[in-house]
Amino acid sequence: MTERDPATPLWWGTIVLRVITLLFAAGAVLVHRDGYEREWLAWTALGVMAAWTVGTSVCYSRPALRLAALVAVDVLLTCGLMLTSPFVLSAGQYAEAAPLVTTVWAAVPPLAAGARFGAVGGVVAGLVVAVSTGVARLEVNLDVARDGVLLTASGLLIGITATTARRSQATLARAMRAEAANAERERLARSIHDSVLQVLARVRRRGHDLGGEAAELARLAGEQEIALRSLVSTKPSVPVGGPTGTADLRSALQLLATSRVQVSAPAGDVALPEGTVDELVAVAREALSNVERHAGPSAKAWVLLEDLGEEVVVTIRDDGPGIPAGRLAAAEREGHLGVAQSIRGRVAELGGTATLETAPGAGTEWEIRVPRESRSGRRP
C-alpha cells in the first residue's frame, strides 16, 4: 500500500462506524445486564471491544498500518467476542432474542476487509461473521440469515468501492504520466525550433544563393529541416480524450510531408478507427511512391485531407507529365495495373471509392473517399 490510498475515506468510515456501534453495544449491555447469566463476562467483553476499537482506530487511520494480518485478526477477534454470548446470555434472553454482546459492532470488520482486500475479501469476512453469528445464536433462523445477507452484501459493496477507487487512481496516474511525456515532447519541439531548425533553414537559404557545392549542402539541410519540422509539429496520433481504438488521420498524414510533398489538412483532429487510418496512410504512401517512380524525382506532390462529416476525402495530386489517355486502359487489359488496382482494392475494403484523374501534362490526381462508419469518432 502506498502513501496515498484512494480507499482512505472508507477506512475512516469504518473507524467512525466502530465507535458509534461500540456505544450502541454498551447501551445494549446496560439494558440487558440484569437478565445476564454472567454479567462480569459481558463487561469484560465490552472492555476488550473498547480497547480493540481504540487500537484499530489508531491503526486504520494510518495507511502504513492497514495490514492484511491486522484485518484478519480483526475479523477473528470479533467472532471470538461474539462467541462469549452463549456464556453471557441466559436461556430466557435467548428465547426472547435479546441481542448478542457484540450486537451491530460485529458488522464493522467485513467493511474493513472489503476496504483492504476488495470484493472477495469483503464477502469472505462477511460470511465468517455471519456463520459466527449463527453459532453464537445457537440456531439458524430467519434473523441469522438476514444478518448474513446484510453482512456479506456490505462487505461486497465496500470491496467493490475500494477496488474502483484504486483503479481510477491508477488510471489518473497513467493519464498524468502521458501528459508529462507530452509536455516533454513539446519542450523538445520548442528547443529544436529555437536552435537546430533556424540554423538549418539559414544554411539552406544561404547555400542555395551561393550555388555550386554549397547548393547541394543547402538541399540536404533543407530535407532535414522539413523532416525535423514535421516530426516536432506532429501531435501524438492518438487524439486526446477521443474514443479508444481511434487514431488521428491528420497527424498521421502530416508525417508524409517532405521537401517535395506538401500536406494540407484542417486544424483539428480527424478521428477515425485505427485500422482505417493505417490503410489510408498506406494508400497515400503508395500513391506518392508511384509519383516518384513515374513522374520523376523532381515532380511535386500535394496531399489534401478534408473532413466532410459523413465522409473523409484524401486527395493525392502531382504535377508530373500525367498518363496519356488509353494507356491506362491498355495496361488494364494486359493485366498489369499494379498500383492503381491495389489502391482501388484497399479503398474498396474500407467501403470507399478511389478515382484517378489524369491527362498528359496535367499530372495525376487520386481522389479517395471513405465513409465514416459511426459519427461517434467525429470531433467538430
Burial class of residue 50 (count of CB atoms within 10 Å of its CB; 0-12, 13-18, 19+): middle
All cell numbers assigned to 231 = 516530426
Crossing angle for the helix pair 119-137 and 142-192, to the nearest 10 degrees: 160
Of 146-154, 156-164, 171-179, 307-315, which segment contacts another protein by CB under 8 A? Answer: 307-315
Of 31-39, 47-55, 194-202, 275-283, which segment contacts another protein by CB under 8 A? Answer: 194-202
**Total of residues contacting another protein (CB under 8 A):** 43
**From the CB of 319, what's the least distance to another protein, in Å?**
7
| Rg from Cα positions in the chain | 37
Q: Is 98 in the site for another protein (CB under 8 A)?
A: no
Distance of CA 20 to the CA centre of its chain: 39
DSSP 294-338: HH-TT--EEEEEEE-SSEEEEEEEE-S----TTHHHHHHHHT--H
| Cβ(135)–Cβ(108) below 8 Å | no
**From the CB of 57, what's the least distance to another protein, in Å?**
50
Q: Is 315 in the site for another protein (CB under 8 A)?
A: yes
Q: Is 369 in the site for another protein (CB under 8 A)?
A: no
**Measuring CA to CA, which residue among 345, 350, 367 is closest to residue 358?**
367
Residue from 45, 112, 226, 291 binding another protein (CB under 8 A): 226
Residue from 107, 151, 197, 272 binding another protein (CB under 8 A): 197
Cα→Cα distances 206→178, 209, 216, 222, Å: 40, 5, 11, 11
Closer by beta carbon to another protein, 32 or else 229: 229
Of 19-27, 313-321, 328-336, 349-357, which segment contacts another protein by CB under 8 A? Answer: 313-321
- How far is the C-alpha of 375 from the C-alpha of 315, rounded, in Å? 22
Beta-carbon contacts of residue 318 (< 8 Å; ≥ 6 apart): 291, 295, 299, 300, 301, 302, 363, 364, 365
Reduced to 3 states (helix: H, G, I; strand: E, B; else coil), residue 143 is helix
Residue from 194, 241, 244, 298 binding another protein (CB under 8 A): 194
Three-class SS string for 168-186?
Answer: HHHHHHHHHHHHHHHHHHH
The helix (run of H) or strand (run of E) holding residue 257 is none
Closer by beta carbon to another protein, 116 or else 317: 317
| Chain residues 258-277 in contact with another protein, contact rule CB under 8 A | 259, 262-268
Phi, psi of 246 (to 5 degrees): -110, 160
Q: Is 290 in the site for another protein (CB under 8 A)?
A: no
Closer by beta carbon to another protein, 77 or else 192: 192
Residue from 74, 109, 307, 372 binding another protein (CB under 8 A): 307
**From the CB of 361, what's the least distance to another protein, in Å?**
11
Residue from 199, 329, 348, 359 binding another protein (CB under 8 A): 199
Of 115-123, 179-187, 311-319, 331-339, which segment contacts another protein by CB under 8 A? Answer: 311-319
Q: Is 300 in the site for another protein (CB under 8 A)?
A: yes
| Chain residues 316-345 in contact with another protein, contact rule CB under 8 A | 317, 319
All cell numbers assigned to 377 = 469518432
- Give the pairing type, strands 301-307 and 261-264: parallel
**From the CB of 333, what's the least distance to another protein, in Å?**
30
Residue from 225, 248, 279, 286 binding another protein (CB under 8 A): 225
Residues that bind another protein (CB under 8 A): 193-194, 197-199, 201-202, 204-206, 208-209, 222, 225-226, 229-230, 232-234, 254, 259, 262-268, 300-302, 304-309, 315, 317, 319, 365, 380
